Structure 1
Amino acid sequence: MNDRGTIKWTSLMMPEQIQLLNEMWEQQDWKEKPDLDGQYIAEINLKIEMALENDLTIEIEYFKNHDYHKIKGKLLGVDVLNQFVQIEDEYLPLDSITGAWID
């Protein structure tokens, strides 16, 4: 017996119901932002400071839109007052950064 899953029921559903089901399935794949401990945050801050002072290339991992992203480049500035870093043409909030590596 070949089960077609929800395909057999979609003809009985309203478009709004199908859209809600698709959104629900998409949200199941969402990742959660990790809670970083103070020592790891201090390590990230140190790497950001070293990259900025020595004009080094840095790779930053950040959390945005329920997923992890990476960007690599030169830091153009850190705004401590507004809590963001500028790397290439991206402005990343400091609290969204989950990792940093210097090349």
Structure 2
Amino acid sequence: MIRDRGTIKWTAMMLPEHVQKIRDWKQESYAEAPRELTEWELEELQLTIDQAVTQQKIVTLTVWESIKYVQWTGLIQALNPDKQELTLETITKIKHIPIHTIHAARLDEESYEE
């Protein structure tokens, strides 16, 4: 019985740049497309973000980055309407997130206390 290992058998003869391009191509081919939010979802998202800012609550944001959804948890420090972004302070860093990439927001039960 013949066992075909696909592209694995050819990677030894490929340049590292080619192997990386093939990995990138496979990742892009399996990537999901960002879905459009309904008006109701956008309104709920806005209310959740406003509540997180006014009450200084920790929020988990689901953000579309490159080819997948990523979750960031932290405290919203500022909303910048000119740049259309918000500033989120996580445990390790401060992240500037464009508002149009946010797809969901969830408040955590803990509140920020200094």
User: Do the two structures share a fold, i.e. TM-score over 0.5?
Assistant: yes
**Shift of the alpha carbon at 1:7?**
3.7
- Counterpart-to-counterpart distance in 2, 1:20 and 1:72: 32
Match of 2:111 in 1: none
User: Which consecutive unaligned segments of at least 5 residues does structure 2 have?
Assistant: 109-114
SS of residue matched to 2:32: coil
TM-score of the superposed pair, with normalisation by structure 2: 0.77
Q: Which residue identity lines up with residue 66 of structure 1 in the other structure?
A: I
SS of residue matched to 1:23: helix
Match of 1:50 in 2: 51
Q: Please list the CA deviations of residues 64-100 of structure 1 after superposition, one character each: whole Å capped at 9, or x if unmatched.
A: 0211111111110111121101110001000000100
Distance 1:23 1:75, change over 3 A: closer
SS of residue matched to 2:70: strand
Give the share of equivalent positions with the same residue, in percent: 25
TM-score of the superposed pair, with normalisation by structure 1: 0.84
Runs of 4+ with deviation above 6 angstroms: none
Distance 1:6 1:94, change over 3 A: same
Q: Please list the CA deviations of residues 28-64 of structure 1 after superposition, one character each: whole Å capped at 9, or x if unmatched.
A: 1222111101110111011100110111111111000
User: Which consecutive unaligned segments of at least 5 residues does structure 1 have?
Assistant: none
- Counterpart-to-counterpart distance in 1, 2:29 and 2:71: 22
Give the paired residue count: 102
Alignment root-mean-square deviation, CA: 1.9
Distance 1:87 1:20, change over 3 A: closer
